[in-house]
Amino acid sequence: MVISYGALAGLIAAIAFVVLVLFTIPMLVHTAKALKEVNETMQTTNKSIQQISTDVDGLMKQSSDLLDKTNDLLADVNGKMKTIDPVVKAAADLGESVQEINASSKKMAKRFNSARSVRTGVLSSVLTTVLARRKRRNGED
């Protein structure tokens, strides 16, 4: 049985193709498994993104409500500050008035004390003079 060169070449090509297919099959199986895992990962990621999106929507609503309440509170505080401002100004004016009265009282007390000490000094010298004259009179008599 004689095989021609063409038949031998065809046989070699067929064997090479079978070997190529045998080596390619495990790689294709591995690629299919990897694609399946990628698909599962994508599904899990999509579910997680949907959950995160739902959570973020809830947080955004709560944040919006909190900001609204904060704005209302700030407006209320500003209104109360406008109401309290005249009271604080009046208290400051009252403090200044009390300080001025205190300063005037100190000045008056100092004047009174200095006038009193002058009167005491004059009275003391008058009494000393009177007593000295009496001693002289009593001593002469």
pLDDT digit string, tens, across residues 85-112: 888 888 888 888 888 888 888 888 887 7
The answer to the question of residue 8 being in a domain is: yes
The answer to the question of residue 134 being in a domain is: no
User: 7-32 pLDDT, tens per residue?
Assistant: 999 999 999 999 999 999 999 999 99
What domain range is 73 assigned to? 1-104
Q: Which residues of 62-87 are buried (b: 16+ CB within 10 A; e: fewer)?
A: eeeeeeeeeeeeeeeeeeeeeeeeee
The answer to the question of residue 2 being in a domain is: yes
Task: Please report where in the chains the tokens 């009177």 appear, as a residue.
Answer: 130
Q: Count of domains in the chain?
A: 1
The answer to the question of residue 7 being in a domain is: yes
Task: Please report where in the chains the tokens 């609503």 appear, as a residue.
Answer: 61
d(CA 96, CA 119): 35
The answer to the question of residue 41 being in a domain is: yes
74 has pLDDT over 60: yes
Start-to-end CA span in the chain (Å): 192
The answer to the question of residue 39 being in a domain is: yes
The answer to the question of residue 113 being in a domain is: no
The answer to the question of residue 98 being in a domain is: yes
